[in-house]
Amino acid sequence: MNRDIVFEGIGNARDMGGLKTKDGKTIRSHALIRSAKLSSANHRDEKKLKEEYRLKKIIDLRTPTERMEKPDAYIDGAQYLPLPVFKSATAGISHEEEVKMLEEAGGLSPFYYYMVIDEDCRHNFNTILSEIFSFPYEQGSVLWHCTEGKDRCGLVSAFVLLALGVDLEEVKKDYDLTNRVNEIKAKKYYDAIIEDGGPIEKAEYVRDVYLAKPEYLETSLDAIINNYKDFDTYFEKGLNIDRKLIEYFRNNILVDE
C-alpha cells in the first residue's frame, strides 16, 4: 500500500489513512497527513490540499527561527498553528543547531531521548496531540510537519499511531518510510562533501541529519517504556492526555472495513 502524496513543492508527504489497528479498524484516508515544510508549496500543491484533502488545520512543529527563514505557504481555509516541540529556552535556535548540540553529547540518540522525557517537550506534545485528537474529521484533514518531516514530525506521527492502537512494528515501518524520499537527498549531500575533500565525519553527520534511522526512534520508545512502563501510561501521566480524548479521536478517525 503506497500512502505517499505526490506534490511538486512539498517533500516527504504521506496519508496515514489505510493503516490497520490491532483490533481490526482502519484509519480513515484523507484525514491525517504528515510532511516536510510547506514553504515550497506551489499553487497546484495548495489547490490539492484545499480541494482533494480538504485541509483545515496545519500544525507547524518548527522553531520560530525556522518558521521565519522559510515560512509556510498560505493554504486558503486552513488554520495555521505554530506549535514547536522544543521548549522556549531553545526556541531561538534552529533544529539543525539543536541536533548538533545533542550530537556533541554523544550522538543523535540523546535528541530522541530528550524529546520524550523533557518536561517542556512533553507539555508541547500535549498541546500538539490535543489539537490532532480533538479535531472533527468529518470536516476535513489535519497536517503536521517539521523541516524534513523526519524527527519531530516522525515522533508526533508515532504517537498518533500508538494512540490509535496501530501495532508497534507498523509504527516503526511508517517512520522508516521517510528514507524512501530522503536517502537520495542524504547521498547527494554526503557525496558533495566527499568530492570537495571534506572529512568523512562531516559527510556522515550531514547524511544522518536527513535519514530516519531505526535506532533513533527506538531510543524514544525505549525511554518511554523504561520511564513509564507502557505507552498508555505515557499518554496519561507523561503527556497528561485524558483517555476520553483518545477514545473520541479513535471514534472519529477509525472505520470498519
Question: pLDDT tens across 207-220, in order?
Answer: 777 777 888 899 99
Q: Is residue 5 part of a domain?
A: no
Q: Does the pLDDT at position 108 exceed 80?
A: no
pLDDT for 97 equals: 56
**In this structure, what C-alpha cell is assigned to residue 80?**
495555521
pLDDT for 204 equals: 77
Q: Is residue 27 part of a domain?
A: yes
Q: Does the pLDDT at position 46 exceed 60?
A: yes
Structural domain including 154 reads 14-255
Q: Is residue 6 part of a domain?
A: no
pLDDT for 200 equals: 83
Q: Is residue 142 part of a domain?
A: yes
Average pLDDT over every residue of 12-33:
96
Question: pLDDT tens across 109-149, in order?
Answer: 677 888 999 999 999 999 999 999 999 999 999 999 999 89
pLDDT for 110 equals: 76
CATH code, domain with 244: 3.90.190.10
Q: Is residue 223 part of a domain?
A: yes
Average pLDDT over every residue of 158-182:
92
Q: Is residue 4 part of a domain?
A: no
pLDDT band for position 223 (cuts 50, 70, 90): very high
Average pLDDT over every residue of 37-56:
97
Tell me how many domains the chain contains. Answer: 1
Average pLDDT over every residue of 148-164:
95
Q: Does the pLDDT at position 105 exceed 50?
A: no
pLDDT for 218 equals: 93
The pTM of the whole model exceeds 0.75: yes
Q: Is residue 204 part of a domain?
A: yes
Q: Is residue 1 part of a domain?
A: no
The torsion of the CA quartet 31, 144, 50, 180, rounded to 10 degrees, works out to -80
pLDDT for 257 equals: 74
